[in-house]
Amino acid sequence: MLVLVSICQAQKSASKPKALLLPVSKDPSTVQYITRLNIGTPSVPKTLVVDLGGRYTWIDCAKGYKSSTYKPGICGSAPCSLADSDGCNKCLSAPKPGCTTKNSTCHLNPENTVTGHVDFGELAMDKISLQSTDGSKPGPLNSVRDFIFSCATDMLIIDFARGAKGMLGLGRNPVGLPTQLASAFGRGFSQEIRYLLAFKTENKWCHLFR
């Protein structure tokens, strides 16, 4: 089964996409819905478990996360307030995504909603890219700079679909994916999410809109 998450704009604009697409599939072994989000510079696709009510997106940054557009969330900054961070921390190790020695970074508490485990994580920002569509065919990639998410550790990757490195938060709150996209593309870009379910029956592909 294939699910396309379509985040739509109320009216078409020459400088804005009509809709953005995220391909979502169902993992047969865990029955979890997963997607791939292009993040960082250079852009790297990350497999994430979809969390419809998730407050924010979190990604395992413990190993191999390298990006020239990565930014830490500095304590007292606007992104930290927007994400409702509940504290600050100064990393004691070498600077890397998820911590910095020069400034205190604000922290979040990412949750694995599959197991209920909660861990410590740093607020982070980076560029993401999503494919656009005019409703009939795929279009070019559209980028959003300084997308707010949480850098977590690999200790939170438990009972996930194979290859998943975090969770995509689709909740309706200040740092959920729909709200951040609406903010990035300005007035008129709806936070509405539509689901296109495609399933195969009698050797034909059928489509359902939600």
- Residue extents of the structural domains in the chain: 2-209
74-125: per-residue pLDDT in tens? 888 999 999 999 888 776 555 567 666 556 889 899 999 999 999 988 999 9
Question: In whole angstroms, what is the distance from residue 89 CA to residue 75 CA?
Answer: 8
Class of domain 2-209: mainly beta
Among 4, 2, 7, smallest CA distance to 193 is for 7
Cβ pair 15, 2 in contact under 8 A: no
Question: What are the C-alpha distances in Å from 157 to residues 55, 90, 111, 143, 182?
Answer: 18, 24, 10, 27, 29
For residue range 1-56, list pLDDT tens digits in order: 445 555 665 444 445 787 888 888 899 999 999 999 999 999 999 999 999 999 99
Supply the pLDDT for residue 11: 43
Dihedrals φ, ψ of 5, to 5°?
-90, 115
pTM of the entire structure? 0.85
Q: In this predicted structure, what is the pLDDT of residue 22?
A: 85
Residue bearing tokens 């005019």: 134
